[in-house]
């Protein structure tokens, strides 16, 4: 294997080699073709994003036929975009792989476009020279490089490198931000946020999904939600053998603070009789069931309403994952659509499939709210879902409700209904629902109000 450009990276290490192979495999999946790229160029690009302080070799240590690779890597290291994104890419293999793969794909596509369409022979030659410099086992040695230099000045080459690099890196950052936002949704990427799904094995699917316009809109909206990572609202009950959360006075011997036992007997028993002994306050977290969401996709929901509703759906999934709960989702218009199940121990590919499904759904059709609620109740009664006691309904409410039938279904399934009106109102639902919320701005505050309800 040829030389690498970073200090402190062992290019013969099996893990390092595996990184290069994985990136090349992912690049093939994303681009749909074989690319014979220099493996160490891929490895170096990955570790520039992944390492806290990547150090490059000096230019004098690099052979002449690797000057092009060196120039590109140096551009990456010094890029303001890369430095700004380092907060998320350091030690985050999924984001680092996404950046590397996306950058390589867009870099090659940009150079090939110039080579194919530019009216300048010098530009075409420069693009060809850079492409040859990136490939392994090519004949782009010193002789070929010198011949190319006869056609293309060093100034043109450097200009072409900068142009292609900046365009490729800008597009790569967009893709990497989508991956980062997806990670935040499915478990967070900060300290104290619990486990995080690692998308590295499915990066090609994540990149393809992140380029879906609808998904990107939803992810961008959620990325501006600072509290998304901290949504968790488990109810607690006071219990003498629970977790410590404070202190109080009382006479419960089981919770007495040990320092009180050091008091003289007379004083201790006096405080005990008067209920003034210092006690630990303890509590246990109540178990909560799955989240079951019904989401209206009728024609009246098309546009901003359904984008916001889909963002709520992903935010609710984020909460379910943090609280170790199963998540169920069913779209509806005049008919209920198939039930989507994402269990608490779901693998990353299952989460990706759910997000992809959400992205594909478009507003259209009539509205039958009663039928959708009854379907959810039947799911609960018939055991298609386990442990559900609360159904969340997102709709603009443009429908007449069969109140008696809906009430009976909710009662028979032992379920409660939370109705969320999206720029609408429904007097029938207001009477039937256990909780009735109305949203109008469809901003972050409205979303948080719904998710935290």
Q: Which two tokens stand for residue 362?
A: 């478009």
Q: Give buried/exposed letters for 188-202 (b at 16+ CB in 10 A, else e).
A: bbeeeeeebbebbbb
Amino acid 59: pLDDT: 86
Going through 186-235 in order, the beta strands assigned E by DSSP cover: none
Going by their DSSP bridges, the two strands 277-285 and 236-250 should be labelled as antiparallel
What angle (nearest 5°) sits at the alpha carbon of residue 261, between those of residues 258 and 267?
A: 140
Are 47 and 9 in contact, with CB atoms under 8 Å apart? Answer: yes
What DSSP line would sit under 108-151, residue for residue? Answer: HHHHHHHHHH-S-HHHHHHHHHHHHHHBSS-S-SHHHHHHHHHH
Residue bearing tokens 């009950």: 237
Interatomic CA distance for residues 375 and 428, integer angstroms? 18
Amino acid 312: pLDDT: 95
Note the Cα 229 to chain centre separation in Å: 11
Judged against a pLDDT cut of 90, whether residue 110 lies above it is answered with: yes
pLDDT tens per residue across span 167-215: 999 999 989 888 888 887 765 444 444 444 567 778 888 888 888 889 9
Judged on CB neighbours under 10 Å (0-12, 13-18, 19+), 12 is: exposed
Which of the 8 DSSP states describes residue 256? Answer: B
Are 391 and 292 in contact, with CB atoms under 8 Å apart? Answer: yes
Are 316 and 325 in contact, with CB atoms under 8 Å apart? Answer: no
Expressed in percent and rounded to 5, the helix, strand and coil fractions of the chain are 55, 15, 30
pLDDT tens per residue across span 144-167: 444 444 544 677 788 888 999 999
Amino acid 274: pLDDT: 85
Better-predicted residue by pLDDT, 313 or 275: 313
What angle (nearest 5°) sits at the alpha carbon of residue 289, between those of residues 285 and 292?
A: 140
| Average pLDDT across the chain, whole number | 86
Beta bridge partners of residue 420, listed in sequence order: 394, 437
Interatomic CA distance for residues 214 and 360, integer angstroms? 8
What angle (nearest 5°) sits at the alpha carbon of residue 172, between those of residues 64 and 208?
A: 125
CB within 8 A of 327, min separation 6: which ones? 290, 291, 293, 316, 317, 320, 321, 341, 342, 343
Q: Which two tokens stand for residue 39?
A: 């493996």
Better-predicted residue by pLDDT, 282 or 116: 116
State phi, psi for 374 to the nearest 5 degrees: -65, -40
Residue bearing tokens 């720029």: 423
Which of the 8 DSSP states describes residue 382? Answer: T
Judged against a pLDDT cut of 90, whether residue 137 lies above it is answered with: no
The class level of CATH for 291-451 reads alpha beta
pLDDT tens per residue across span 37-89: 888 999 999 999 999 999 999 988 888 888 889 999 999 999 988 998 888 89
Q: How many CB atoms lie within 10 A of CB 273?
A: 10
Q: Give buried/exposed letters for 46-61 (b at 16+ CB in 10 A, else e).
A: bbbbbbeebebbeeee
What angle (nearest 5°) sits at the alpha carbon of residue 194, between those of residues 192 and 198?
A: 125
Nearest to 30 by CA among 211, 249, 265, 229: 211
Domain assignments of the chain as residue spans, ordered by start: 14-211, 236-285, 291-451
Amino acid 243: pLDDT: 73
Helix axes 154-185, 93-117, angle to 10 degrees: 140
Amino acid 228: pLDDT: 57
Q: Which two tokens stand for residue 72?
A: 């590109």
- Say what the pTM is: 0.79
Q: How many CB atoms lie within 10 A of CB 135?
A: 15
Are 229 and 222 in contact, with CB atoms under 8 Å apart? Answer: no
Stated as kind and residue range, the H or E segment containing 348 is helix 348-360
Nearest to 426 by CA among 452, 451, 394: 394
């Amino acid at each position: 294997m040829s030389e690498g450009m970073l200090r402190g990276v062992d290019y013969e290490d099996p893990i390092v080699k595996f990184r290069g192979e994985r990136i090349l495999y992912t690049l093939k999946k994303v681009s749909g073709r074989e690319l014979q790229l220099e493996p160490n160029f891929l490895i170096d690009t990955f570790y520039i994003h992944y390492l806290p302080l990547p150090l490059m070799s000096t230019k004098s240590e690099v052979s002449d036929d690797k000057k092009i690779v060196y120039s590109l890597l140096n551009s990456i290291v010094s890029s303001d975009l890369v430095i700004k994104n380092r907060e998320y890419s350091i030690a985050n293999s999924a984001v680092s792989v996404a950046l590397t793969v996306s950058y390589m794909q867009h870099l090659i596509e940009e150079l090939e476009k110039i080579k194919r369409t530019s009216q300048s022979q010098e530009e075409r030659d420069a693009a060809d020279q850079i492409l040859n410099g990136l490939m392994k086992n090519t004949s782009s040695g010193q002789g070929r490089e010198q011949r190319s230099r006869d056609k293309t000045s060093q100034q043109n080459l450097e200009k072409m490198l900068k142009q292609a690099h900046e365009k490729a890196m800008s597009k790569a950052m967009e893709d990497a931000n989508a991956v980062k936002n997806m990670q935040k949704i499915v478990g967070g990427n900060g300290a104290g946020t619990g486990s995080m799904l690692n998308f590295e094995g499915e990066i090609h699917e994540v990149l393809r999904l992140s380029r879906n316009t609808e998904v990107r809109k939803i992810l961008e909206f959620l990325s501006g939600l600072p509290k998304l990572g901290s949504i968790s609202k488990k109810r607690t009950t006071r219990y003498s053998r629970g977790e410590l959360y404070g202190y109080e006075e009382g006479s419960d011997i089981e919770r007495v603070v040990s320092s009180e036992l050091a008091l003289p007997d007379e004083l201790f028993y006096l405080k005990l009789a008067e209920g003034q002994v210092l006690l630990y306050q303890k509590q246990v977290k109540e178990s909560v069931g799955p989240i079951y969401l019904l989401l209206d996709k009728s024609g009246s929901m098309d546009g901003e309403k359904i984008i916001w509703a889909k963002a709520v759906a992903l935010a609710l999934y984020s909460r379910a994952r943090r609280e170790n709960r199963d998540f169920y989702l069913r779209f509806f218009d005049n008919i209920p659509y198939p039930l989507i199940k994402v269990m608490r121990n779901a693998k990353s590919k299952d989460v990706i499939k759910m997000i992809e499904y959400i992205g594909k759904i478009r507003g259209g059709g009539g509205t039958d709210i009663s039928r959708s609620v009854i379907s959810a109740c039947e799911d609960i009664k018939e055991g298609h879902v386990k442990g559900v006691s609360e159904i969340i309904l997102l709709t603009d409410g443009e429908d007449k409700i069969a109140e008696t039938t809906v009430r009976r279904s909710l009662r028979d399934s032992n379920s409660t209904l939370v109705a969320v009106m999206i720029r609408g109102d429904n007097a029938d639902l207001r009477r039937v629902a256990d909780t009735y919320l109305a949203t109008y701005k469809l901003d972050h505050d409205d979303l948080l109000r719904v998710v935290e309800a």
